[in-house]
Homo-oligomer: A and B are copies of this chain.
Amino acid sequence: MNSIANYIKQIESELSNFELPNSPENLYDPLRYFFELGGKRLRPALTLMTAENFSGQGKDALNAAMAVELFHNFSLIHDDIMDEAPFRRGKETVHTKWNNHIAILSGDVLFVKAYESLAKCDIKYLPELLNLFNKTATEVCEGQQMDMDFESRESVSEEEYIEMIRLKTSVLLGCAIQFGGIVSDLDAKMQQALYDFGQYIGIAFQIKDDLLDLYGESAKVGKQIGGDVLSNKKTLLNIKARELGCDMIQLSSIIEPNERVRSAQQIFKDFGAKEAAEKKMEAYYNDAIRSLEALPEIQKDLFKSFATYLIERAS
């Protein structure tokens, strides 16, 4: 069995050899640039890991994995416009380096490349892959819309937040893992188990991201700590803190950024919001592990160690 790092390397190599036309430059240069920014490549690595461990076809697994990664990159390019994010991984976002129009269109063509990659899969898998991909892509858009809608709302319930991150983040992890199951000819029950695992671990993964945003180490996370607090983002930590009676108005009245972040770190801990978010993350981790029941013991262990890796990470 390969390690996750090896699958990630394989995807990196595919991306750096990914053939794109030279012209029009303003359409394709942004994509070459974006691929070079790097990324965790976790989703496609999950497809490869799943397929290899259930003896799925190498070529189909790779094409399906690349479809997931290309789609993810497309959604990041468009999300960065909508979030008006100037930087990604410490470098300029596409719409900052070029402009919004170019970021829209190069995103669009990247979306087509995702479908092109999927279309290379064996015809016997194509309808199933395509249906799951379409469903997932729709849900990711719905999640992003919910996220945007939340910005202008006074408050968001925990249930709404979880549904938003399920759609925006987790379904694509579910899709990535199930893709590995599809190209391995697994039965519907096992495919569902893989999807559920991916979805639950995806939610835990996102809560971990929220926690790292406030309690991580800047050098490891690769961005400034406390961004969510400074932009008043309604993450699970924020929702829990509000629920537990933190004075959010007083917190947001602190002008000095470092001081506001330090205050949030302290009072979210004191009021138990940090612990509540960690508990929630563990609950989803446990749901993920429980979803693996239908799988053979050896695969169970594999996915379990992957899940542990995801929620124990520091970056």
Residues of A with Cβ closer than 8 Å to B? 21, 24, 26-27, 78, 81-82, 100-102, 104-105, 108-109, 111-113, 115-116, 119, 123, 126-127, 130-131, 134, 137-138, 141-142, 144-146, 148-149
CA distance A127 to B81 in the complex (A): 33
Copies of this chain present = 2
**Which of the residues B78, B109, B138, B142 comes within 8 Å of A104, measured between beta carbons?**
B78
Q: A119-B127, A119-B134, A137-B112 are in contact. Are A105 and B27 (CB under 8 A)?
A: no
A224 to chain B, nearest CB (A): 24
Chain B residue numbers with a CB within 8 Å of A126 are 123, 126-127, 130
A203 to chain B, nearest CB (A): 19
**Across the interface, do A134 and B105 meet the contact criterion of CB distance under 8 Å?**
no
A164 to chain B, nearest CB (A): 10
**Across the interface, do A105 and B145 meet the contact criterion of CB distance under 8 Å?**
yes
Q: A115-B130, A119-B134, A127-B126 are in contact. Are A142 and B24 (CB under 8 A)?
A: yes
CA distance A119 to B27 in the complex (A): 27
A211 to chain B, nearest CB (A): 26
Chain B residue numbers with a CB within 8 Å of A26 are 145, 148-149
CA distance A168 to B21 in the complex (A): 17
Q: A116-B134, A123-B126, A145-B26 are in contact. Are A104 and B101 (CB under 8 A)?
A: no
A151 to chain B, nearest CB (A): 10
CA distance A126 to B123 in the complex (A): 9
A31 to chain B, nearest CB (A): 11
**Across the interface, do B115 and A27 meet the contact criterion of CB distance under 8 Å?**
no
**Which of the residues B104, B134, B142 comes within 8 Å of A82, measured between beta carbons?**
B104
CA distance A198 to B50 in the complex (A): 44
Q: A101-B82, A101-B148, A134-B116 are in contact. Are A109 and B27 (CB under 8 A)?
A: no
A-B contacts besides A82-B105, A112-B137, 17 pairs, CB < 8 Å: A24-B142, A24-B149, A27-B145, A78-B105, A81-B101, A82-B104, A100-B100, A104-B104, A105-B144, A109-B137, A111-B111, A112-B134, A115-B115, A115-B134, A119-B131, A123-B123, A126-B127
**Across the interface, do B27 and A142 meet the contact criterion of CB distance under 8 Å?**
yes
**Across the interface, do B111 and A138 meet the contact criterion of CB distance under 8 Å?**
no
Chain B residue numbers with a CB within 8 Å of A115 are 115, 130, 134
**Across the interface, do B81 and A104 meet the contact criterion of CB distance under 8 Å?**
yes
CA distance A315 to B126 in the complex (A): 41
